[in-house]
Amino acid sequence: MPVLIKNGRVITADSDRIADVLIEGEQIAQVGTSIDCSDAEVIDATGKYVFPGFIDPHVHIHLPFMGTNAIDDHASATKAALAGGTTTVIEMICPGPDDEPKAAFEEWKGLAEAGACCDYSFHLSVVRFDELAKQQVRDLVANEGVASFKVFLAYKGALDIPDEHLFELMEIATELGVIITAHCENAEAVDAMQKRLIADGRTGPEWHEPSRPRCVEADGVSHLCAFAELTGAHVYIVHTSCRAAVEQAMEARDRGVNVFVEAVAPHLVLDKTCAERPDFEGAKYVMSPPLRDAAEHDHLWKALASGQMLTIGTDHAPFNFRGQKDMGLDAFTLIPNGIPGIQERVDLVHTHGVCTRRIGLQDMVSTCSTNAAKIFGMYPRKGEIAPGSDADVVVYDPTYEGEFTHSESESQADYNGYEGMPRKGRPDIVLLRGQIVARDGRYAGDGGGGHYIPRQPTH
């Protein structure tokens, strides 16, 4: 049956108007005023915003990392995504140094096919880089719809890529027209700082941030951008936490480097005092790059408003407080890095960005949906409300007021990093390719149903 969303305020990256949206099958059929369709199921969106389905360009679901595995599976993480208005995620495939890229792709895709409730695509981390891996990387781009790689400049001895490999990978990316996404922190500096702090008996989670201060991140960005300048690669800096790092990227952009910069929700609303909470509670907030001084929030929001930063993801990386985070009770270096947040992102951006007038509603759509679709080759199928686009639509209630709480989380993590924080706005109804999959901020689908979104090189 067709679905007709009536009288909503339809907000896209480049328009904002009262309109009706007619959905036929899995696609949007028509957008306009006074659309009639006698056999349609009607959703009255009077007083509501109607957004394109949100896209999270940076999530971890299946994540073997730091001696454990992230706690969500594809079902729980994508139910959480949909409950929060996110209809497409791009997950990082993170194989270990001995794993073949093709086997990793098949493993991750198989898990997603079995469980994902929202649509999904992948960034492929390149860790192993011998001749076989290089060939497989090329095959995955040519035949499997992989259009972005991931590199870690951090995590020495585990996931980090040596410069020799990085340079060659960037040459291959340029040749193939795919983009390199990068975690930018100088791995050697972090390693040295960690050793010094632990030797001095500074072992608690509050020492995580001092072990990788802002200059370490800015240095990573500068390094990646130098390689991008030399190789012509397009680069996308993930989870950028501070002004110093954004400035390095902007200097490179001014030199002609094709660099895109991502923010993630924790850096926009949480700060380093969270990691200083007593009784090891701070471990819940250990992520990398770390949470910074609260003064950074304004810089990041301004960078989003001005277009220096183009996207907002979550870096959803859920580890239980009990049984996982507490692996680092004796040394912060052993705390699995990451904070859950796939469900909370959209409402956090609405609460802390739009309601405080730091960004506008159309900025919210650009940064949380459309720009990711464009940068990563999914536009206009995703990130748009227009005839022919997938009918991924969020009917959003801007008047809802409540607070974030673990009891409403679909994620399997045993805590909510935003617990008790005020929440203004909530998705009323979320549609994925024409099907209602969430109501009133809760998952309401039948399980499964997510599709893989293969992508083409973008440049």
Give yes or no for residue 315 binding ligand URP (CB under 6 A): yes
- Tell me whether residue 206 or residue 315 sits nearer to Zn ion (CB atom): 315
Give yes or no for residue 284 binding ligand URP (CB under 6 A): no
Q: CB of residue 238 vs Zn ion: minimum separation in angstroms? A: 6
Q: What does DSSP assign to residue 34?
A: S
Closest CA to 184 of 273, 120, 259: 259
The amino acid sitting at 292 is R
Beta bridge mates, 52: 393
Please select the residue that binds ligand URP; options are 31, 75, 283, 287, rule is CB under 6 A.
287
- Tell me whether residue 51 or residue 376 sits nearer to ligand URP (CB atom): 376
Q: How many CB atoms lie within 10 A of CB 97?
A: 12
Q: How many CB atoms lie within 10 A of CB 306?
A: 11
The residue written with tokens 């192993």 in the block is 128
Please select the residue that binds ligand URP; options are 48, 60, 165, 299, rule is CB under 6 A.
60
The amino acid sitting at 17 is R
- Tell me whether residue 49 or residue 152 sits nearer to ligand URP (CB atom): 152
Cα–Cα–Cα angle for 343, 106, 70, nearest 5°?
35
- Tell me whether residue 239 or residue 424 sits nearer to ligand URP (CB atom): 239
Q: Which stretch binds Zn ion (CB under 5 A): 21-29, 45-53, 177-185, 404-412?
A: 177-185
Q: CB of residue 94 vs ligand URP: minimum separation in angstroms? A: 7
One character per residue 182-211, x = contact with Zn ion (rule: CB under 5 A)? -x----------------------------
| Alpha carbons within 13 A on the beta-carbon side of 152 | 24
Q: CB of residue 154 vs ligand URP: minimum separation in angstroms? A: 7
Rounded distance, CA 326 to CA 322, Å? 6
Q: What does DSSP assign to residue 239?
A: S
Give yes or no for residue 62 binding Zn ion (CB under 5 A): no
Q: Pairing state of beta strands 49-52 and 41-44?
A: unpaired
Residue 287 binds: one of ligand URP, Zn ion, none (C-beta under 5 to 8 A by kind): ligand URP
Residue 275 binds: one of Zn ion, ligand URP, none (C-beta under 5 to 8 A by kind): none
The amino acid sitting at 341 is G
**In 289-368, which ranges are continuous DSSP H helix?**
295-306, 345-349, 361-365
Give yes or no for residue 183 binding ligand URP (CB under 6 A): yes
Label each residue of 227-264 as H, E or C: HHHHHCCEEEECCCCCHHHHHHHHHHHHCCCCEEEEEE
Please select the residue that binds ligand URP; options are 78, 240, 308, 337, rule is CB under 6 A.
337
Q: CB of residue 239 vs ligand URP: minimum separation in angstroms? A: 6
* Residues 91/105, Cβ–Cβ less than 8 Å: no
- Tell me whether residue 315 or residue 392 sits nearer to Zn ion (CB atom): 315
- Tell me whether residue 29 or residue 63 sits nearer to ligand URP (CB atom): 63
Q: Which residues bind ligand URP (CB under 6 A)?
A: 60, 183, 239, 287-288, 315, 317, 337-338
